[in-house]
Structure 1
Amino acid sequence: MITQHIPIVLVASLLLSGCNLMPNFELQTGELPNHWRNIDSDTTASKIDPQWWQAFGSPQLNRLITEALAYNNDLASATQRIAQARAQSKIASADLWPVIGIDGNIHSQHDSLGETRKKTASLFAVYEVDLWGANRGKRDAGQDRYLSTVFARDALRLVIMAEVSQAYFDLAATSERVRIAQAFLQNVRDVLNIVEAKFQAGAVSALDLAQQKTELASTKASLVLLQQQQSLIENTLSILLGRPPADFQVIAERFADLNLPSVQSQQPYSLLLRRPDLQQAEMQLKAANIDVGIALSAFYPSLQINLDTILANPQPAGLALAMAANLAQPLFQGGRLEGGLEYAKAHYAELMEIYQQTLLVVFKEVEDAAAVRNHSSQRLLALSEAVARAREAYQISFEQYRVGAIDYQTLLNTQRSLISTENTEVLARLDVMQALVQLYKAFGGGWQNT
């Protein structure tokens, strides 16, 4: 009775005595900065609102981002890649389990009554002993690659959020510039009426009249160009939302009504856990590290156990003989094993370099966004003052020209200065808002690794 359990004990002992050749994983980040150059350290906070876009105070933007996250085709594709990776992970885990099946056959035999067909079936089970941890490594690498696709999807979500936000702010800014152009067009028409009246009275030359008509035509052309830009931005937004451009239209809120939130900064080291693209690269590294161990294990013997062989001779001596017969040791394979190991090591080294470069780019993204935010904010303050003075100068020159106190060229200069300054102020405000979006994105956009 005891001898019947000996094969099971031996098999279990063999399973437990295997070595694990999978190398330990160590993430090499290099020297991490302990502060930011363009962000004050005393503004550091521990958390960013996952729905950071709501800080801009735009119900329209909130609706657009919600719709984009639900219907964007690139995000849907990323979800399908996750499903594929999950299936591949299941496949990678299969070698940890025995292969069990039924082997059936049909054969004919003759007896005194004639030919008969006999069907037979037998159960078979084959198990590969994981002597060196390769099968467990395949399972773990499959799980890491699955997680990398999840993080890739999360990183894409941040990109989509940022692209929708930036496109919407671009639309709002362009709509504001259209409003400025329309108001300026009316100003140009008002001046043209005065110039025409003065020309009829012989107070100005035909040159002044021609210049103002040129200004009117140029203003109309600029307005048409801005309206074209509006259409193109709407088309971009429609694609981000997974909708055909013909069925999409959005009316942007007044650009000046949108908030300029204060972004809560994060410590540089925290980005290792806050950025899903870094998490994605780390998972790919872990899988490649395991691949090195799997390639190394190919140099060592492999062992497959057949259930029918064990059952045919369950005695210890028979079991040992069956195992010895199924123990395969690679001797010479023309450099295939060496090449496989060299490839795995080189691939891991490549991914490590890519990770470290990605990390440097991440730090650059934060510094770039912070620098643009800081300098554009200062420029916006100066331009706001400039716009107020340009409007004042235009009103004064308009009244003075109307009563003949100044010449036409002076009015023309203040007229052009006004629209130029107003447009520059809008573009500066847009730079600030775009930089804020990039800063949210660079800090991980409120994404949390759960």
Structure 2
Amino acid sequence: MNKIKLYKYVAPLGICLAVASCTPTLAPLAETKAVPESFDKSFDKSKSADTTNTSTIPWRTYFKDPNLVSLIDTALKNNQELQITLQEIQIAQNDVRVRKGAFLPKVGIGAGAGIEKVGRYTSQGAGDASTEIRPGEEMPEPLGDLKIAAYANWEVDIWKKLRNSKKAAVSRYLSTVEGKNFVITNLISEIADSYYELLALDSQLEIVKQNIALQSNALEIVKVQKEAARATELAVQKFQAEVLTSKSMEFEILQKIKEEENKINFLLGRYPQDIKRDNSNFMSLLPSVVNSGIPSQLLANRPDIKQAELQLEAAKLDVKVARAEFYPSLDITAAIGVNAFKPSFLFTMPESLLYSLAGELTAPLINRNAIKAEYSSANARQLQALYNYERTILNAYLEVSTQLSKISNLGKSYELKSQQVDALNRSIDVAGDLFKSAKADYFEVLMTQRDALESKLELIDTKKEQLNASVHVYRDLGGGWK
């Protein structure tokens, strides 16, 4: 007899497990974390183990200009994009709380009241009519229904579906924290870029003004020479055109300065105002010394890599959650309270006491296409997260490699451009002297001045690119958020 009772429970459970065993299987995925030993193919293996890394330097120490530090401080307090990211962290944190509550019993309390009149010539009505509550007192008609009870429902997390769902939410919460760090890193870099751009424009504006003064002086000389019949009206007009071109360039630079100031103000979350800066020694600024460490350090230092890794971890857990949908689920429900048809009987114990306890084991049997589709989608999202993770690592390596090469090449280019500027400055004096003594024509003077101006502006651009490259490599190594 006991065996027959046991079979009643074992048989349905066996069917559910057999159905669950038909779950589609997918090959496990493993991400590739291997990176080259060095950022330079022609590296010296004796130096390849040097782990000194610029990214460990706090941004307040890395950037020496107090005006730039002040701007970054303001941006970290007021930048709207950063504030939006902080709210995303709060949303992800709340989702963790939701998932955590899902695998705990749900308990509630309820109260209800109703009234019912059944037909006398029914089984319930005939029974009620003959029921005596007290001697000589029958069941009232119509019949009231009063109830106060506590209810509980609990899905037993047999296959860790709910627990894995909570872990996935935690991983996504941590990924939003890394996302916030990535926003901070990029925000600092963007402000520093714009700040150095502003200093470069100030220097270019000063060079153009000096050139206007030089060209105006040459124009006056040509006018005097024309009066002395030593130059023509063509020379006068050519010099006049050069002066006007330079003045036009001055206003173009002023517009660029305004745009760059507004860009910085936008990043700082404020309306337009002057950007405090010291532009007196821009050309003497030196890029920070960079130590790149080893490529494997990117995995720990870059917030975007850690964010992608956490998103991949969450996607893997989502696959486990989707797979658990094929398995049987066990739900337990319970209730306890009081129930009576009159208020006076509501708390009469034990007659008005009600309670219930039930367990239900269910598993999908037929038409599981929706579950299969969600499982397939979860695996596709896992593949997306895997490829995104590997792409992020590759991109990080290439960014650092590019910036290190850029720093090296810009250093060499700056030296050559400096020599070019020195040579052209000397040629301006020589051309002026030759022009005054009628040994050179006006065209040679104009071209010399024009070449000198272009080379000076290019030198300023190269200096700006040097400073920006030092900012970018600091960002690409993962510095700025710590």
Tell me the TM-score range normalised by the shorter chain: 0.7 to 0.9
Moved more, 385-394 or 115-124: 115-124
Q: Tell me which amino acid in the other structure corresponds to 1:386.
A: Q
Aligned residue number for residue 32 of structure 1: 35
- In the alignment of these two chains, the number of paired residues is 415
Give the TM-score of the pair, scaled to structure 1: 0.86
Structure 1: 5+ residue stretches without partners: 1-18, 310-320
Query: 1:36, CA displacement in angstroms?
Result: 1.0
Q: Distance in 1 between matches of 2:51 and 2:174?
A: 30
Q: Kindly report which structure 2 residues correspond to 1:79-228, keeping only aligned pairs within 5 A, or say none.
A: 79-108=86-115, 119-228=146-255
Aligned residue number for residue 6 of structure 2: none
CA contact (8 A) 1:52 1:440 kept: no
Aligned residue for 1:336, secondary structure, equals helix
**2:373 corresponds to 1:370:** no
Aligned residue number for residue 432 of structure 1: 466
Q: Distance in 2 between matches of 1:167 and 1:405?
A: 46
Query: 1:154, CA displacement in angstroms?
Result: 0.7
Q: Distance in 2 between matches of 1:272 and 1:287?
A: 18
What whole-Å deviation, never above 9, does each CA across 1:98-125 have from its counterpart, x for those lacking one? 0011021123599999999775311111
CA contact (8 A) 2:184 2:481 kept: no
Query: 1:388, CA displacement in angstroms?
Result: 1.6
Q: Distance in 1 between matches of 2:158 and 2:462?
A: 65
Query: 1:48, CA displacement in angstroms?
Result: 3.0
CA contact (8 A) 2:54 2:479 kept: no
What whole-Å deviation, never above 9, does each CA across 1:253-300 have from its counterpart, x for those lacking one? 232243311112121111011110111111111111011111111111
Query: 1:395, CA displacement in angstroms?
Result: 1.9
Q: Tell me which amino acid in the other structure corresponds to 1:145.
A: R
Q: Tell me which amino acid in the other structure corresponds to 1:225.
A: E
Percent identity over the alignment is: 25
Q: Distance in 2 between matches of 1:299 and 1:48?
A: 47
**For 2:279, which of 243, 250, 253 is the aligned residue?**
253
Distance 1:118 1:258, change over 3 A: farther
Query: 1:306, CA displacement in angstroms?
Result: 1.9
Q: Distance in 2 between matches of 1:425 and 1:40?
A: 30
Query: 1:204, CA displacement in angstroms?
Result: 0.8
Aligned residue for 2:222, secondary structure, equals helix
Q: Distance in 1 between matches of 2:28 and 2:469?
A: 36
**2:299 corresponds to 1:272:** yes
Q: Tell me which amino acid in the other structure corresponds to 2:304.
A: D
CA contact (8 A) 2:204 2:460 kept: yes
Aligned residue for 1:365, secondary structure, equals helix
Q: Tell me which amino acid in the other structure corresponds to 2:332.
A: I
Aligned residue number for residue 76 of structure 1: 83
**For 1:330, which of 346, 364, 382 is the aligned residue?**
364
Greater fraction of residues in helix: 1
Q: Kindly report which structure 2 residues correspond to 1:322-401, keeping only aligned pairs within 5 A, or say none.
A: 322-323=358-359, 326-401=360-435
Q: Distance in 2 between matches of 1:24 and 1:80?
A: 37
Aligned residue number for residue 315 of structure 1: none
Moved more, 26-35 or 415-424: 26-35
What whole-Å deviation, never above 9, does each CA across 1:7-64 have from its counterpart, x for those lacking one? xxxxxxxxxxxx9x99999751253111112796646514534433643431111111
Q: Distance in 2 between matches of 1:87 and 1:58?
A: 40
Aligned residue number for residue 283 of structure 1: 310
Aligned residue number for residue 444 of structure 1: 478
CA contact (8 A) 1:141 1:290 kept: yes
CA contact (8 A) 2:55 2:301 kept: no
Aligned residue number for residue 13 of structure 1: none
Query: 1:243, CA displacement in angstroms?
Result: 1.2
Q: Tell me which amino acid in the other structure corresponds to 1:383.
A: K
Q: Distance in 2 between matches of 1:302 and 1:56?
A: 58
Q: Tell me which amino acid in the other structure corresponds to 2:449.
A: Q
**2:73 corresponds to 1:66:** yes
